[in-house]
Amino acid sequence: MSRGENPRGTALGVVALGVAVCVLALLGCAADPEPRLAAAPPWDFVHTFYYGWYANETEDGFTAHWNHDVLGVDYEAGYPGGDDIGANYYPALGTYSSNDPAVVETHVRQCADAGIGVIVVSWWGRNTFEDRAVPLLLDTAARHGVRVAFHLEPFAGRDAATSREAIEYLLDEYGSHPATYRPEEFRGRPMIYVYDSYLTGADEWHRLLHPAGDLTIRNTPYDVVAIGLWVNEDEGDFFLDGSFDGFYTYFGSDGFTYGSAARNWPVLAEWARRNNKLFIPCVGPGYVDTRIRPWNASTTRSREGGAYYDRMFEAAIASRPSVIGVTSFNEWHEGTQIEPAVPKTVGEYVYEDYSPLAPEQYLERTRFWAGEFATTRR
């Protein structure tokens, strides 16, 4: 996607007990080598953007996205796949498939353990690769008490009519699933994020989202909580005229846009309160996409050993929003992922990693900040 990532008897008894504990610990490590976070509630006011677009030869019979080939789309830079991928970091799970049940199980469990209650899944249209990956994600999420919302991407021909068709399809196909996110404070309506909403005029969105619009979904079985993307400074009228329920900032590069600049969040939060809109600031661990966009180094934001992520979360919490978004769980192309990454060298290229932090440390930090956010909502 173009973007324009929380020991005791006698002496012999003590020795015997110590040996037993060590044996059990070793057995436990053998059974589950992945580091586990302590249990944390998956809070539905912490969302993360999730990409179910990865394919590999083993599971799917072809490779997609790891090589930066998006099912035939010609991008700026391509990679052969395998260990040489279109990303500056390398995933701990390797070049996985979004259709692998074991991978999706791991992802959803990691989200739940990190306190993330809503996975916002990228959706590019009916019967696309990303659409076909949704049922597995929903079923897995339901087992872990996690909910799923949809990220409506700018598919070809997106306007009021085709957006209505997309929403009708999503709700007919997935709306009754127990994992579909339906916030109680919005009368149980599903939530739809609209990426690059500005590409469609406010007059078109008005047709769909205003109660008097000729294509309105309001007060119908297809009514949703519609969240648009705030990019530039003076966009308030767009969200009012378009009848959106709220807005989000998405980008993990602080200052890349007016909306993504943490210094502007108090202003946006106040505007949202005055206009009865939902404000969703989005935090990221850093940003780097120079393997796929070598010309885009100015957008890079260093992770600073986790300090960047901490600052963004602090700023988001200080704006007192209802929801915080995490950009992202696994957008590897743009280096915004909180999914574990590992050191890797391929040829002369040395992938970045989370040093001095451990591979799972961003999940740990997410859990911590989700808990801090929870205390402000009591």
Q: pLDDT (tens digit, 9 = 90+) per residue, 36-89?
A: 555 568 999 999 999 999 999 999 999 999 987 654 444 445 687 789 999 999
Determine which of 73-87, 155-169, 184-198, 300-314 has the lowest per-residue pLDDT on average.
73-87
Q: Global pTM? A: 0.89
Residues forming a β-bridge with 192: 150, 226
> Which amino acid would we find at residue 231?
V
Q: Which fold has domain 11-376?
A: TIM Barrel (3.20.20)
Position 13 scores a pLDDT of 39
- Which residues are CB-contacts of 164 (< 8 A; sequence separation ≥ 6)? 208, 215, 217, 222
**What residue ranges do the domains of the chain occupy?**
11-376
List the Cα angle 232/189/53 in 5-degree steps.
Answer: 65
Q: For residues 126 and 171, is the Cβ–Cβ distance under 8 A? A: no
22: pLDDT confidence band, cut at 50, 70 and 90? very low
3-state class of 335 per DSSP? coil
Residues forming a β-bridge with 123: 152
**Taking phi first (over 0 means left), then psi (-120 to 50 degrees means alpha), and beta for anything else, what does residue 81 get?**
left
pLDDT digits (tens, 9 = 90+) for 177-228: 999 999 999 999 999 999 999 999 999 999 999 999 999 999 999 999 999 9
